[in-house]
Every structure is written in structure tokens, then in C-alpha cells.
Amino acid sequence: MEAATVAVWGDILSDVRKEVGETRFNLWFKNTIAIRVSEGALTIGVPSGFMAEWLESHYQTLLAKLASARLGARTAVKVVVDGELFRAKRREESRAKEELLEEAAPREKLGVEARRFTLDNFVVGPCNSVAYAAALKVVEAPGEVYNPLFIHGGVGLGKTHLLVAIANALRGKGRASAAEYVSAEGFTNRFLFALRNGTLDAFRAGYRRAKTLIIDDVHFLASKPATQDEFLSTFNSLSREGCQIVMASDSHPKLIGKLKETLVTRFLSGMVAKLEKPGYATRREIFSRKAADRNLRLADEVADFVAKRIKGSIREIEGAVNTLAAYATLAKSPIDMATAAEALKGLIEGGSRPVRLPEVEAVVTAYSGLSEGDLRSARRTRPVSQARHLAMYLARSLGGFSYEEIGNHFGGRNHSSVVSAVEKVAGQVNEDAQFAREVAALKAEFGL
Ligand code: ADP
Ligand code: MG
């Protein structure tokens, strides 16, 4: 279009602004361009069909009047949709929607909280060494060896820690956009949002940019067929590009259920590693490392105590560290066993399995060669009494049963005879090292 045309449209626009006021001008005229002037007609371009119609029906007379004044007698104004303006408007809209999208479902930010998840501070034991080794390999050679890497295990066993640690390590290698971490829930929310708002292209482009896509808690996709399809196509498209995919779930792909067979097959096509519950030595190591990180001063036996008694997840071990840290701020000296036991009472009662009386009986009958009937009977021969007393002692010290409960269970004995039986065994444990070892071995049978 000619410069003169542009200039005259500029003049007409300033006349329009005076006539219609700022608000309406911004709404209807700001985004217009002059296209051409020819034979008594001025053609202008607008971004959409709707605007063209609106201008023609509401402002045609005014525009014709103002154009005629500038260009000479009887100039009509024609309004058309301009392709370039149209595309610019679309871009603007989709940018606005993307911004809205970010607001509605912000990406998981690897913030302060997540930075503490590193491969260095992940304690490795028999329960997690396979998954850990696979994570190291993924960081070393993304997309090359274990692809996809699928990690599964119960709550609080370190899935998110490993996944975020992989993302952190890849980012640490200097490729900022190299790894994208998202929970399956975040993926689902953003997918549904994009679907509703017609921004699927932007949504897809966002994930397909990643060199490594890390998606947590994929069991969340169960029973969500549309999201599963979308994830499958993201998965396939990344796979074709040789990108690394890492996933975590609370169960093995085959056991997630309500998951399309094609997805299950994909999930199984690389490396599947399970996180088991940590054993005693690993629990002790995790506790000690986390306590040391917090500069906790603890009596030596405390680590043993925690490792023996808190056997659920690693999150529970962290709970114990947090609780002890709170006590430590109040105490001047290192936390001793008694204080630790008191502090952790809630966690231990809630978290570890209580010993039941039939279990006590089972252990003692196996040890003594007697039967449950013998233990509950009125017989007072020496071997029977001894075994019965031992059972009462174990029930008291491991299960915390009351003397009444114990007396009732073992043949309706009264309170004081249970007390004296328990004390007798306790005394023997103190005096007789061999017996103490046997009792310790029996206690170990309970796996507490
Ligand atoms: P999940 O995602 O499997 O439910 P998380 O990764 O959130 O479990 O782990 C729970 C907590 O336990 C986190 O604070 C994490 O740092 C910690 N944790 C888990 N495994 C380990 C480990 N092997 N070494 C150190 N900390 C761990
Ligand atoms: Mg998790």
C-alpha cells in the first residue's frame, strides 16, 4: 500500500478518535490498516470478520463522512479482513491463553524444596540400588540405555527424590531446558485446560521440546483415557526423537489397572526398577545422614533405636529426624535414649506393627517345644512355668500389654503373679548373659 494512503488513513483515524472517544476507538479502530484508495472508495483491513461486520453496520456512515472530507467528494469505505492482521491477532490470543494456562496450572518449579533432592544425598542400599544405578546411567547418557526408565514403589520410598534428582543433575550439566519434570496430575490438568481453550498446539509443543521428560506418579493416569491417549502421543513423539523418558508410579505398570495396554507395553519397553522398603542397615544410614545434616547431637543408641522401630517409609524416618530436631532445640545436652523414646512414641505406635499375643505364643512354643495349651494351662512344672513366664515377659516388653490382659490370656492368672513372672525373667536377663542372648534372639524373631 502506498505511503499516501497510509497517511490519509492516519488522518481519518484521528478524526474518528475525536468523534467516537478513546474507548470505542481502541476497541474498533486501533487495529486497522489502510489497504488502498481507488475510484471513490477507501478499503481498510481489520483482523476479523466480526469486526468488519461491526464497522460496516455501526460506523459506515461516519467513516464515509470523514473519508469524503479528507479525500474529496463521496468516498465510500470498504472493510475487509486482512490476513496479516488476522494472524497477528491469533498469535496475540494464543500468547494470552498460554499465559493464562501458566497461571491456571503453573509448571512444577524446581524450587528450593526440590533442590534438596540430589543424587549425592540419596542413600543407596539393597532396597534401591538398581533404581539408583539406572538413574545415574540416565544422567550420564540420556536416551541411550535405559529408555524409558520406569521406577515404582510404595509411598515415601524415594521415587520423587530420584526423579527430581535426575532433572537437577541434567540441568546441572548446563542444558537449562534439557529436562522437564511434571507430575501426571499436572500433565492432566494442563492437557484438559488446553483442550478447553483450544491451545493444544502450545501444550504439545511445550512437552515435545524436552530432551528428557520426567513424569511422576503416572498411576494418576488410570481411568483417564483421553489423557492417556495424549500422553501416549507425547511419549511416541519423544521416543522417535530419541529423547529420554523417566516415569514413577506407586505400582508396576501391569498392576496400575485401567491403563491402556499400549501404554503398559511402552512402559515396560525399557528398564523397570522397583524401590523396596529399606532394611535395617539402610534405615540406620538414612537416619544418621539426615540427623548429621541437621547437626543433631544424639546418644549412640538412638540411631539403632530408630532404625529398629521405624520401619515404614523413608518419609517416616525423616519424620523422626524432624521430631528429634524439635526436641534438640529445647535440650542442652545430646538427646539420650529415654528422651528419644518419649519424643518418638507417637511415630512408633502409629508406624510399627504392634505385637499380638498369639505371635508371642508362637515364638515361645517354637523355642520351648511346648504347646499353646501348655502355656495357658494350670500346669506348674518347671519347664512349663519358665516358658509361660518368658511369654509374659515378651508380651509385656514388646507388646506393652497390661498385666491383666496378659494374665487373662495365659490361663486366667492374677495381676500379681504376672508382675512377679515378668520381674523374674527381667532379673534373669540381667544376671545370665547366655539367657539374655537367647531372649534377644527371640525378640529378633518378631522383626521389630
Ligand atoms: P515417594 O515419591 O516415593 O513417595 P519421596 O521421594 O517423596 O517418596 O521421598 C520421601 C522423603 O524421603 C523425601 O524427603 C526424600 O528426600 C526422602 N528419601 C527417600 N529415599 C531416600 C534415600 N534413599 N536417601 C535419602 N533420602 C531419601
Ligand atoms: Mg512422590
Neighbours of ion ligand 2 (CB under 5 A): 159-160
Within a domain: 181: yes
Residues 263 and 230 grouped into a single domain: yes
Q: Which of 81, 102, 128 is the last residue of a domain?
A: 81
Residue-wise pLDDT for 347-363, tens only, equals 775 444 467 888 899 99
Kindly give the distance from the C-alpha atom of residue 222 to the centroid of ligand 2, in angstroms, as a whole number. 16
Within a domain: 93: no
Question: Could you tell me if the CB of 123 is within 6 A of ligand 1?
Answer: yes
Phi, psi for 213 (deg, rounded to 5) = -105, 125
Residue 376 has pLDDT above 70, yes or no: yes
Residues 175 and 230 grouped into a single domain: yes
State the chain's mean pLDDT as an integer. 88
Residues 120 and 252 grouped into a single domain: yes
Residue-wise pLDDT for 91-127, tens only, equals 777 676 666 555 544 455 555 567 789 999 999 999 9
Residues 123 and 242 grouped into a single domain: yes
Q: Give start and end residues of each alpha helix (H) in 183-313.
A: 184-197, 200-208, 225-240, 253-256, 261-267, 280-293, 300-309
CATH of residue 308: 1.10.8.60
Within a domain: 318: yes
pTM of the model as a whole? 0.61
Question: Could you tell me if the CB of 129 is within 6 A of ligand 1?
Answer: no
Kindly give the distance from the C-alpha atom of residue 160 to the centroid of ligand 2, in angstroms, as a whole number. 4
Residues 136 and 252 grouped into a single domain: yes
CATH of residue 379: 1.10.1750.10
Residues 47 and 129 grouped into a single domain: no
What is the side-by-side strand order in the sheet with 76-81?
A: 33-38, 41-46, 76-81
Residues 207 and 146 grouped into a single domain: yes
For residue 118, the ligand closest to its alpha carbon is: 1
Residues 120 and 235 grouped into a single domain: yes
Task: Tell me the residue range of the domain where 16 lies.
Answer: 3-81
Q: What is the tally of structural domains in the chain? A: 4
Q: Which of 245, 271, 297 is the last residue of a domain?
A: 271
Residue 406: the pLDDT is 92
CATH of residue 70: 3.30.300.180
Residues 216 and 332 grouped into a single domain: no
Residues 124 and 267 grouped into a single domain: yes
Residue-wise pLDDT for 142-193, tens only, equals 999 999 999 999 999 999 999 999 999 998 886 554 788 999 998 998 898 8
Kindly give the distance from the C-alpha atom of residue 227 to the centroid of ligand 2, in angstroms, as a whole number. 20
Within a domain: 235: yes
Residues 122 and 240 grouped into a single domain: yes
Query: For residues 44 and 61, what is the distance between their CA atoms, to the nearest angstrom?
Result: 15
CATH of residue 206: 3.40.50.300
Question: Could you tell me if the CB of 396 is within 6 A of ligand 1?
Answer: no
Residue-wise pLDDT for 262-298, tens only, equals 999 999 999 999 999 999 999 999 999 999 999 999 9
Within a domain: 317: yes
Residue 145's Cβ-count burial label (10 Å; 0-12, 13-18, 19+) is middle
Within a domain: 100: no
Residues 267 and 294 grouped into a single domain: no
Question: Could you tell me if the CB of 322 is within 6 A of ligand 1?
Answer: no
pLDDT category of residue 447 using cuts at 50, 70 and 90 = low
Within a domain: 96: no
Kindly give the distance from the C-alpha atom of residue 301 to the centroid of ligand 2, in angstroms, as a whole number. 31
CA nearest neighbour of 358 among 404, 311, 410: 410
Query: For residues 241 and 251, what is the distance between their CA atoms, to the nearest angstrom?
Result: 28
Measured by CA distance, the residue closest to atom 9 of ligand 1 is: 158
Kindly give the distance from the C-alpha atom of residue 156 to the centroid of ligand 1, in angstroms, as a whole number. 5
Within a domain: 211: yes
Q: Which of 35, 60, 81 is the last residue of a domain?
A: 81
Question: Could you tell me if the CB of 115 is within 6 A of ligand 1?
Answer: no
Measured by CA distance, the residue closest to atom 14 of ligand 1 is: 315
Question: Could you tell me if the CB of 157 is within 6 A of ligand 1?
Answer: yes
Kindly give the distance from the C-alpha atom of residue 140 to the centroid of ligand 1, in angstroms, as a whole number. 22
Residue 245's Cβ-count burial label (10 Å; 0-12, 13-18, 19+) is buried
For cell 535440650, the residue is 331
